[in-house]
C-alpha cells in the first residue's frame, strides 16, 4: 500500500444567488465527495474545500431588488446551500464564502504581486452604461432584437439569441435596452485593469502538454484557444459589490469575480489549516496534491486563467488534477431554470432519499466531458433493478436468513470448498479493482465494479442454496455476512447513508465511515457475532416521472 497522501480537493464554487440543482451535483459535488470519502477510507490526509461565490453583478442587482444588503443576500444562500449539501451527504471539511476576509486579503495580495511583476496594465474601455440605473451594463443586462435578418426575435440577451441559437457580436443587437429598467443605454468610457494573459500562452501550453493527469479531450479544447491567440483579460468592474482594487485612486472599482473566486480555493483551504493549528499554510498547500473538480462550462477559467495567475504570482502550486465533467440534461433537453426544466436538490429530496440520487448520478456520469442525461424512467429502472434488486436484495436476504435461521448469531465457518474460496478471492479483487477505478477518478466504473461484486455474491448465495443445503450452510452464511460488511465499506463513498444503515443492522462497532477500505477484503465478522433485527434497506421507486 502507498504511503499517506496529502490531498486537497476543491469543488467549484456555487454562485450565491440560487439553490443547488442536479447539474451542480452531477458534474462537481458528487464526484468530489465520492473521491474524498474514498480517500478518507484509504487513510489519506484529505480535505474537501468549497465556498459560495459571493460577488458580481447578478447578486448585486438581485439583492438590490429584494431590498437587502448583498452581504445578507449571500449569507442567506450560503446557509441554504450548505444545508442542501449536508442533506445530500456532501462532506465538506469547510464551506466558506468568497466574501471572507481571508479571500479579500489573498485576492488583493495576488493583484499586488501581479502588478509588481508587470502583468497588469490600465486601459480605457468604452462600455454601455444605463443612466437611470447609473450602472455599466454587461452583455447579459442588455436586451434587444436579434440582428440576424432571418430571425429578428425580440427580447433577446445581447450576447446570444435563444431563438436561433447564434451568438451575437457585442454591440450588434438592435433596439438595445437595459434589462433592468428598459431605458436605452449610452456609451461611456471607464479605465479598467487588464491582466496580461497573452504573455502566458507559451508557458500555459507547456504546462498543459506536460501534465499527464489532465483529461486529453479537455486539454485539446483549451489548447485550441491558445492557438487562436489569448486575449488579455479585463479584471475590474465598475461596481460596489466586490473586492476593491488595492489602489488609492480606484476605490470604486472592484475585481472581477473570476479574478477572485478561484482564489477562494486557496484562501478557504488555508483558513481550515489555520483553524487546525498548522503553522505554514502556504507550505501545506504546496506539498499537497491539488484536485479541482469542475463542470466543463468553467473549463477555460480553470485551465487558463487560474494557472496563469498562479504562475504569475509563483507562490502557490498549480493543480495536479482538474476533473471535468459534462453538461446536465433532463429527459434529453437542456436544463433551464427560467424555462422550468429543472430539478433542485431540495425538490428531489422531498421525494426520494439522497442515496438514490447519489447512486443514479454516480452510475451514469462518466469521467469525461460527455453530457449526462437524467431520465426519470431510467432512474426508476436503475434504482429498482440495480440498487435494490442487486445490492438491497443481497444484503436483505443474508441478514434476514441469519436472523431467522440463526437467531441473529453469525455461524462459525466450517471447511471451504472451491466456490467458497473463489468468493473469498472476489473480496480481494473487488476491493483492489474498485480502488483502482476510484483512484483514477473513474467513479462510475468503480461503482459498477462494486455492483459486479454484489452480483457475484447473489450468484454464490443462489448456487449454495443454504435454505436446503444444510451441511454447507454455516460457511455460506458466515461468508455472506462478511460480504455484506465489505459491501458497506465499499459503498460508503457512494451511499454513505445506506452504508451506515447496513453497519447498524449488522451491529458493528463505530461508524462505517471510520473504517479502512482495505479491511473490506478481510473476514472481520467472526462466528458468534450477533446482528440486529434486519429491516428493509430501500423502498422501491414507483411513478418517478409523475411530477
| Binding residues for RNA restricted to 476-535, rule: CB under 7 A | none
Residues 423-452 interacting with RNA (rule: CB under 7 A): 448
Cell numbers describing residue 523: 473476514
Stretch of residues binding RNA (CB under 7 A), selected from 138-146, 179-187, 431-439, 481-489: 138-146
Residue pointed to by grid coordinates 443481497 = 394
Considering the complex, what minimum distance in angstroms separates the CB of residue 141 from RNA?
7
Stretch that binds RNA, among 2-10, 295-303, 312-320, 523-531 (CB under 7 A): 295-303
Per-residue cell: 439:
483512484
* 3-class SS letters over 102-164: HHHHHHHHHHHHHHHCCCEEEEEEEEEEECCCCEECCHHHEEEECCCCCCCCCCEECCECCCC
The conformational region for residue 151 under phi > 0 = left, psi -120 to 50 = alpha, else beta, is: alpha
Smallest separation (angstroms) from RNA to the CB of 239: 9
# of chain residues touching RNA (CB under 7 A): 78
What does the longest C-alpha to C-alpha distance in the chain come to? 89
**CB of residue 539 vs RNA: minimum separation in angstroms?**
6
Selected range binding RNA among 205-213, 285-293, 323-331, 503-511, rule: CB under 7 A: 323-331
Three-state SS at 453:
helix
Cβ closest to RNA, residue 46 vs residue 168: 168
Name which of 371 and 522 has its Cβ closer to RNA.
Answer: 371
**Are the C-beta atoms of residues 279 and 259 closer than 8 Å to each other?**
no
Contact set for RNA, span 144-163 (CB under 7 A): 159
CA–CA separation, 146 vs 187, rounded Å? 20
Q: Which of 368, 505, 515, 521 binds RNA (CB under 7 A)?
A: 368
Please identify which residue in 143, 396, 485, 529 interacts with RNA, judged by CB under 7 A: 396
Interacting residues with RNA between 239 and 258 (CB under 7 A): 256-258
From the list 75-83, 84-92, 290-298, 316-324, the region that binds RNA by CB under 7 A is 290-298
For RNA, the binding residues in 302-321 under the rule CB under 7 A are 304
* Contact in structure between 282 and 290 (CB atoms under 8 Å): no
Other beta carbons within 10 Å of 112:
15
Gap between the Cα atoms of 123 and 191, Å rounded: 5
C-beta of 460 vs 517, nearer to RNA: 460
- Shorter beta-carbon distance to RNA: residue 93 or 386: 386
Q: Does 200 bind RNA (CB under 7 A)?
A: no
Phi, psi of 115 (to 5 degrees): -65, -45
DSSP structural state of residue 466: T
In the complex, minimum distance from the CB of residue 157 to RNA, in angstroms, rounded to a whole number: 9
Segment interacting with RNA, rule: CB under 7 A, options 99-107, 204-212, 340-348, 361-369: 361-369
Pick one of 278, 385, 511, 516: the residue that binds RNA (CB under 7 A): 385
Interacting residue with RNA among 77, 92, 95, 141 (CB under 7 A): 141
Q: 40-79 mask for RNA (x: CB under 7 A)?
A: -------------x--xxx---------------------
- Rounded Cα–Cα distance for residues 331 and 341 (Å): 9
Axis crossing angle, helix 70-87 with helix 57-66, rounded to the nearest 10: 100
The rounded distance, in Å, linking the Cα atoms of 206 and 521 is 42
Which range, of 382-390, 407-415, 418-426, 483-491, touches RNA by CB under 7 A? 382-390
Question: With binding defined as CB under 7 A, does residue 271 bind RNA?
Answer: no
Measured torsion, CA atoms of residues 216, 210, 306, 297, in degrees rounded to the nearest 10 = 0
Amino acid at each position: 500500500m502507498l504511503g499517506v497522501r496529502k490531498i486537497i480537493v476543491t469543488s467549484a464554487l456555487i454562485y450565491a444567488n440560487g439553490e443547488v440543482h442536479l447539474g451542480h451535483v452531477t458534474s462537481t459535488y458528487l464526484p468530489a465527495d465520492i473521491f474524498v470519502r474514498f480517500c478518507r477510507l484509504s487513510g489519506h490526509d484529505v480535505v474537501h474545500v468549497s465556498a459560495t461565490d459571493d460577488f458580481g453583478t447578478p447578486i448585486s442587482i438581485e439583492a438590490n431588488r429584494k431590498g437587502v444588503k448583498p452581504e445578507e443576500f449571500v449569507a442567506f444562500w450560503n446557509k441554504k446551500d450548505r444545508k442542501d449539501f449536508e442533506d445530500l451527504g456532501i462532506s465538506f471539511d469547510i464551506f466558506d464564502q468568497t466574501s471572507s476576509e481571508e479571500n479579500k486579503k489573498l485576492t488583493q495580495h495576488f493583484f499586488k504581486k501581479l502588478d509588481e511583476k508587470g502583468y497588469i496594465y490600465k486601459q480605457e474601455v468604452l462600455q454601455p452604461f444605463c443612466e437611470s440605473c447609473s450602472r455599466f451594463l454587461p452583455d447579459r443586462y442588455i436586451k434587444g432584437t436579434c440582428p440576424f435578418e432571418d430571425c429578428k426575435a425580440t427580447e433577446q440577451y445581447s450576447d446570444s439569441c435563444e431563438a436561433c441559437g447564434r451568438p451575437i457580436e457585442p454591440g450588434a443587437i438592435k433596439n438595445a435596452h437595459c434589462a433592468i429598467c428598459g431605458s436605452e443605454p449610452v456609451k461611456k468610457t471607464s479605465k479598467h485593469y487588464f491582466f496580461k494573459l497573452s504573455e502566458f500562452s507559451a508557458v500555459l501550453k507547456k504546462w498543459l502538454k506536460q501534465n499527464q493527469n489532465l483529461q486529453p479531450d479537455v486539454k485539446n479544447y483549451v489548447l485550441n484557444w491558445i492557438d487562436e491567440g489569448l486575449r488579455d483579460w479585463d479584471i475590474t468592474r465598475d461596481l460596489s459589490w466586490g473586492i476593491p482594487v488595492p489602489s488609492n485612486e480606484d476605490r470604486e472599482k472592484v475585481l472581477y469575480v473570476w479574478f477572485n473566486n478561484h482564489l477562494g480555493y486557496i484562501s478557504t483551504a488555508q483558513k481550515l489549516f489555520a483553524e487546525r493549528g498548522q503553522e505554514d499554510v502556504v507550505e501545506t498547500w504546496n506539498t499537497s496534491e491539488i484536485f479541482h473538480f469542475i463542470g466543463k462550462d468553467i473549463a477555460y477559467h480553470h485551465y487558463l486563467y487560474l494557472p496563469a495567475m498562479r504562475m504569475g504570482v509563483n507562490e502557490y502550486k498549480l493543480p495536479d488534477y482538474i476533473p471535468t465533467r459534462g453538461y446536465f440534461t433532463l429527459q434529453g433537453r437542456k436544463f433551464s431554470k427560467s424555462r422550468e426544466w429543472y430539478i433542485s436538490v431540495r425538490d428531489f429530496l422531498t421525494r426520494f432519499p439522497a442515496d438514490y440520487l447519489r447512486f443514479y448520478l454516480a452510475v451514469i456520469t462518466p469521467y469525461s466531458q460527455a453530457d449526462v442525461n437524467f431520465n426519470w424512467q431510467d432512474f426508476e429502472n436503475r434504482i429498482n433493478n440495480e440498487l435494490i434488486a442487486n445490492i438491497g436484495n443481497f444484503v436483505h436476504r443474508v441478514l434476514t436468513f441469519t436472523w431467522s435461521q440463526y437467531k441473529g448469531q453469525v455461524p462459525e465457518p466450517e471447511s471451504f470448498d472451491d466456490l467458497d474460496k473463489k468468493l473469498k478471492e472476489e473480496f480481494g479483487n473487488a476491493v483492489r479493482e474498485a480502488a483502482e477505478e476510484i483512484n483514477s477518478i473513474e467513479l462510475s466504473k468503480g461503482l459498477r465494479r462494486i455492483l459486479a461484486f454484489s452480483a457475484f455474491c447473489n450468484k454464490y448465495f443462489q448456487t449454495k442454496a443454504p435454505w436446503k443445503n444444510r451441511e454447507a450452510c454455516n460457511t455460506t452464511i458466515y461468508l455472506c455476512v462478511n460480504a455484506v460488511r465489505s459491501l458497506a465499506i465499499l459503498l460508503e463513498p457512494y451511499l454513505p447513508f445506506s452504508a451506515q444503515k447496513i453497519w447498524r443492522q449488522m451491529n458493528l462497532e463505530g461508524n462505517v465511515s471510520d473504517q479502512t477500505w482495505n479491511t473490506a477484503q478481510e473476514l472481520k465478522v467472526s462466528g458468534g457475532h450477533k446482528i440486529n433485527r434486519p429491516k428493509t434497506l430501500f423502498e422501491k421507486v414507483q411513478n418517478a416521472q409523475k411530477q
